[in-house]
Chains A and B, each alone.
Chain A
Amino acid sequence: MLKVDHVTKYYDKFKAVDDLSFEIHEGEIFGLLGVNGAGKTTTFRMIMGLLDITKGEITLDGKKIDYSISDKIGFLTEERSLLPSKTVLEQAIYYGVLKGLDEKTVEKRLDKYLKEFNIESYKNQKIKELSKGNQQKIQFIISILHEPKLLILDEPFSGLDPISVEMFKKIILRLKENNTMIIFSSHMMEHIEYFCDSLVILVKGKSVLEGKLTQIKKDYRRKNIKVIADLDEKEVKKLDGVISIEKNKDEYTIKIEDEKYVSTIFKKISKYKNVVKFVVEEPTLNEIFVSKVGEAYDEEV
C-alpha cells in the first residue's frame, strides 16, 4: 500500500503541496488531478523520493521511500524522458539495469512488449529516429519492464493514436489485475473516469475533492437530465433548480442544482408534446472538476 500522510512541501517560502493525504491499495488505480502548477509533479517527485518532504510522510508497504525500495516504482513522465542517442534496446537496458534487472531479462521482456505493440522492428533503432507516438510507447514499455509494484503514469496517452490508446488501456488494466498500484494523472477526464477507482483533485497544492469516484459523483448534487421533446426552452429555464439548458441536435441537456428538482421538472416536461426521452444522469467528471476547481479559485478571490 502507498500511503501519503499529511504531506506538505515548501520551495523556499512557496507552499507547493499542502497537507495532502491519500492511500492506494494493491490493484487500485488512483487519479491525481489538477490544473497545471497544482502540485502534481511535486507530489510525484516526493513519491519517487526525488524531493525531500517538508512535513508528513510517504510510505510504500510501510517503508519510507528510499533507494532500497525505489526499484519497486515505475514512472512514466509527462515529457519524454528518453536519451535520443540511444537505441531502444540500449535505452531499455540502461533504465532496466538501474531498476535492478539484468540485461538478459530486460531484452526478453522488451521483446515481449515490442511484439505486443507490433513494433519489433524498432528494437535497434535510435530513439531520436522514432515518431512521438512510438517514443511514448517505448517510454511506457520501459516504465513497466521491471514489473513495478507502484506505477506512476503522467499523461500516458499523450501523442498516441486511438489504436495505441486501446493497447495502452489493455495493458494498464492487466497491470491492475496483477495487483499493481497505479497513480494516473491526465487532463482527459474520460480516461480518469474509465480507469480510476478513487481520486484526488489538487488546487494550488491542496486537495479540494477526494474519495471514491462513484461516491464523488453520488455526492455531487448537480445532475443532468437528457430530454427529447418539443419543449419551450425559455419556460424550462425559468423552472426552479434549472441551471442551464443546451440543445444538441434533437436532444436537450438540462443541468439542475439538485436531484430534488427532478420530479417538478418531470411534471412540467411531461406536459409537452412528443416526449420520447427523459433520463436523469450523473454529471461527468469533467463537470465536477471544472466546478470544484472553479469554486476553489472563487473562494480564493
Chain B
Amino acid sequence: MMKKFKFLTRESIKSKINTKAFKLINLALLIIIVALINLDSIVKLFGGDFDELINIYVVDEVGVYDDFKTIIDNSYLDVLENYNAEVKIAPKSLDELEKEIKEDESKDIIINIKEVENLTYDNVFDVDFISYEYVDTILYQDIVNAINTVKISRAMSLANIDESILSSVYKGEEINRIMLSEDVKENEEFMELIGSVITLIFVVPFFLLILLIVQMIGAEINEEKSSKSMEIIISSVSPEAHFMSKLISANVFAIVQGILLVVYSLIGIVIRVFTSSGLNGLINNTLGSSANIGTINEYIKLFLESDMASKLVSGIPLFIVLILLSFFAYSLLIGILASITTNMEDYNQLQTPVMVFLMIGYFLAIYAALYQGSIFIKIMSYVPFISGILAPVMYTLGEISIYGLLISIFLLIVVCFLLYKYGLKVYKVGILNYSSSKLWTKIFNALKS
C-alpha cells in the first residue's frame, strides 16, 4: 500500500509540475517579478516626458539669484532631483525664453523676479511664475517657499538687520522630542510604514499559494470523480492513502512554488543591485514618495536596528511551521469539500466560503499595521485558517508574543487533527458519491459511523 501511496503522490506532483502550463506560468512569473522589482529601471529605459530635464530659468532684475540658488541647494535639492529639475540664470531674454517654451511646449519654468516701484518690507520684489502648463504642486510649492525665504531675507536686509543676526534667526530650533510612554520605540513612525510594506510582501504570496492549493485539490478530485476513475483508484488504494496523496502533493507543489517565488525575487534583487538603480532605488520603489522623509540607507538602518527585524528573524522557524500547518488545514478542508461535490460548478460554489475566510485573513493582515493595538485583530490572529496569514504579521509588528504564535500553532494542530479524523469519514463516503440527493444525510451518517 505504501508503494502505491508513494506512486499516487509522485504522479500527482508530476501532473502539476511536469506540465507545459507550469513551466510557462513560472517563466511568466519570473519575468513579472523581476520586472516589478526593476520597474523604475524599465520605465526609465523607455524614456518619456518624466525623463525630460526641467530648466528653472531665473530672470533676476533684483540681484537675488545667488540667495535663491543657495536656498534651493540647501533645502530643496532632493525635490528638484526627483523632478529632474535644475535652477539656472536665464541665458536669454524673457521674451525669447517665453517664445521657446511655447513653441517647444516644454516643461521649463521661468521665475521672473522684478523690481518694485515702492519698496516696502512686505513688497520687496514682484515675481512672475511662467510655465507652459500647470506645474506639479509639490515642485511649485517648494519653489514658492524658496522665493518667500529670499523675500524675508531681503526684507530683513532692508531693515538693516545684521547678517549674523539674520543667520541666527534662520537657524532652525532644536526640538527635544519627549514621549512619556515607556513602550515607544525609536523612530516608530517609520516602522509603521515599513511594517505595511513587509505585510504586503508576506501576505500576497501566502494568499496566492493558498489559492493554488484550493484550486488544485478541487480540480484533481473533481476530475477523478467526474471521469469515474475514482472507482478504479479506490478499488486499488484506500481512501486514506488517496486523500493523503492529494494533500501532500498539493502542499509540496505550493512549497515548490513558494520557493520559486523567493528565487525569482532574489534574481530580481540581484539584477537591480547590479544595474544603475542600486539598492536605494529598490527601497525607493517600495516606499514610494514618502521616502522623502529620510534617505534610504536610513530606512534600512532603522529597520535592521529595530525590534521588527530581530522579531522577523527569530520568528521564521515558527512562521514556517504555522504556514505549513495552514496549508495543510486548508488542504484538508478543501479536500473534504471537493469529495462531496459532483462537478466543478458545485465545488466552486462550496469553496466560496473558504475563500471569504481567506480574504478576511488577507485584509486583517493588511489592516494590522494600520490599526496597531487592535484587540479584535489580535484575537483573530489565533483563529485557525486566519492565523497562518495574520499571526506572523502580528508577531513581526510586535503585537503578539512568541507565546501567541505557539497558541496559534497549537490551535491549528487541533483543527488539523479534527479535520483529518472526521473529514476522512466524509471523504470515504463523498468520493464515491455521484448524486447530490440526500447529501447531508449521507455526510451526517458518515460522521456518525
Selected A-B contacts with CB under 8 Å, 27 pairs: A12-B438, A12-B442, A45-B231, A48-B231, A50-B231, A50-B235, A50-B432, A67-B237, A70-B235, A73-B235, A75-B231, A75-B235, A80-B227, A80-B228, A81-B229, A81-B231, A81-B232, A82-B227, A83-B227, A83-B229, A85-B15, A85-B223, A94-B11, A95-B232, A97-B7, A98-B7, A98-B8
Within 8 A of B (CB), among A37-81: 45, 48-51, 67, 70-71, 73, 75, 77, 79-81
Asked whether any CB of chain B lies closer than 8 Å to the CB of A222, the reply is no
Asked whether any CB of chain A lies closer than 8 Å to the CB of B441, the reply is yes
Asked whether any CB of chain B lies closer than 8 Å to the CB of A9, the reply is no
Q: Looking at chain B's contact residues, is the secondary structure mostly helix, strand, loop, or mixed? A: helix
Bound Cα distance from A98 to B235, whole angstroms = 9
Within 8 A of B (CB), among A157-172: none
Asked whether any CB of chain B lies closer than 8 Å to the CB of A84, the reply is yes
Asked whether any CB of chain A lies closer than 8 Å to the CB of B318, the reply is no
Nearest first, the 3 A-B pairs at minimum CB distance are A98-B236, A81-B228, A48-B235
Asked whether any CB of chain B lies closer than 8 Å to the CB of A99, the reply is yes
Chain A residue numbers with a CB within 8 Å of B438 are 12
Chain A residue numbers with a CB within 8 Å of B237 are 67, 98
* A77 and B441 within 8 A (CB): no
Nearest-Cβ distance from residue B17 to partner chain A, whole angstroms = 14
In the complex formed, the residue of A with least CB distance to B239 is: A50
Chain B residue numbers with a CB within 8 Å of A48 are 231, 235
Asked whether any CB of chain A lies closer than 8 Å to the CB of B224, the reply is yes
Asked whether any CB of chain A lies closer than 8 Å to the CB of B1, the reply is yes
In the complex formed, the residue of B with least CB distance to A91 is: B229
Nearest-Cβ distance from residue A262 to partner chain B, whole angstroms = 49
Within 8 A of B (CB), among A94-112: 94-95, 97-99
Nearest-Cβ distance from residue B31 to partner chain A, whole angstroms = 26
Asked whether any CB of chain A lies closer than 8 Å to the CB of B238, the reply is yes
Within 8 A of A (CB), among B1-21: 1, 4, 7-8, 11, 15
In the complex formed, the residue of A with least CB distance to B8 is: A98
* A45 and B432 within 8 A (CB): yes
Tell which of B4, B15, B442 touches A97, judged by Cβ atoms closer than 8 Å.
B4
Q: A residues bordering B, Cβ < 8 Å?
A: 12, 45, 48-51, 67, 70-71, 73, 75, 77, 79-85, 94-95, 97-99
* B227 and A81 within 8 A (CB): yes
Nearest-Cβ distance from residue B244 to partner chain A, whole angstroms = 15
* A83 and B223 within 8 A (CB): yes
Asked whether any CB of chain A lies closer than 8 Å to the CB of B447, the reply is no
Known: A12-B441, A49-B235, A81-B231. 19 other contacts (CB 8 A): A12-B438, A48-B235, A50-B231, A50-B235, A50-B432, A67-B1, A67-B238, A71-B236, A73-B235, A75-B231, A75-B235, A81-B228, A81-B232, A82-B229, A83-B223, A83-B229, A95-B232, A97-B7, A98-B237
Bound Cα distance from A204 to B8, whole angstroms = 37
Within 8 A of A (CB), among B415-435: 432
Q: Looking at chain A's contact residues, is the secondary structure mostly helix, strand, loop, or mixed? A: loop
Chain A residue numbers with a CB within 8 Å of B432 are 45, 50-51
Nearest-Cβ distance from residue A187 to partner chain B, whole angstroms = 19
Within 8 A of A (CB), among B217-243: 223-224, 227-229, 231-238
Asked whether any CB of chain A lies closer than 8 Å to the CB of B445, the reply is yes
In the complex formed, the residue of B with least CB distance to A97 is: B7
Bound Cα distance from A45 to B224, whole angstroms = 17
Bound Cα distance from A50 to B8, whole angstroms = 18
* A12 and B229 within 8 A (CB): no
Chain B residue numbers with a CB within 8 Å of A71 are 236
In the complex formed, the residue of B with least CB distance to A48 is: B235
Bound Cα distance from A195 to B195, whole angstroms = 75
Chain B residue numbers with a CB within 8 Å of A83 are 223-224, 227, 229
* B227 and A99 within 8 A (CB): no
* A77 and B232 within 8 A (CB): yes
Chain A residue numbers with a CB within 8 Å of B232 are 75, 77, 81, 95, 98
* B445 and A12 within 8 A (CB): yes
Bound Cα distance from A50 to B224, whole angstroms = 15
Chain A residue numbers with a CB within 8 Å of B233 are 98
In the complex formed, the residue of B with least CB distance to A84 is: B227
Bound Cα distance from A71 to B233, whole angstroms = 11
In the complex formed, the residue of A with least CB distance to B438 is: A12
* A70 and B236 within 8 A (CB): yes
In the complex formed, the residue of A with least CB distance to B7 is: A97
* A77 and B228 within 8 A (CB): yes
Chain B residue numbers with a CB within 8 Å of A75 are 231-232, 235
Chain A residue numbers with a CB within 8 Å of B227 are 80-84
Chain B residue numbers with a CB within 8 Å of A82 are 227, 229
Chain A residue numbers with a CB within 8 Å of B231 are 45, 48, 50, 75, 77, 81
Bound Cα distance from A49 to B235, whole angstroms = 7
Interface centre among B1, B223, B227, B438 (most CB of A within 10 A): B227
Bound Cα distance from A45 to B228, whole angstroms = 13
Bound Cα distance from A75 to B231, whole angstroms = 9
Nearest-Cβ distance from residue B204 to partner chain A, whole angstroms = 30
Bound Cα distance from A84 to B228, whole angstroms = 11
Chain A residue numbers with a CB within 8 Å of B235 are 48-50, 70, 73, 75
Bound Cα distance from A45 to B442, whole angstroms = 17
Chain B residue numbers with a CB within 8 Å of A12 are 438, 441-442, 445
Chain A residue numbers with a CB within 8 Å of B445 are 12
In the complex formed, the residue of A with least CB distance to B233 is: A98
Bound Cα distance from A73 to B227, whole angstroms = 20
Bound Cα distance from A75 to B236, whole angstroms = 11
Bound Cα distance from A289 to B233, whole angstroms = 34
Bound Cα distance from A145 to B231, whole angstroms = 17
Nearest-Cβ distance from residue B433 to partner chain A, whole angstroms = 10
Given A12-B445, A70-B236, does the pair A79, B7 have CB atoms closer than 8 Å?
no
Nearest-Cβ distance from residue A43 to partner chain B, whole angstroms = 13
Chain A residue numbers with a CB within 8 Å of B228 are 77, 79-81
Chain B residue numbers with a CB within 8 Å of A79 are 228
Bound Cα distance from A82 to B227, whole angstroms = 6
In the complex formed, the residue of A with least CB distance to B4 is: A98
Chain A residue numbers with a CB within 8 Å of B224 are 83
Q: Report B361-394 CB contacts with A as 1/0, cut-off 8 Å.
A: 0000000000000000000000000000000000
In the complex formed, the residue of B with least CB distance to A44 is: B231
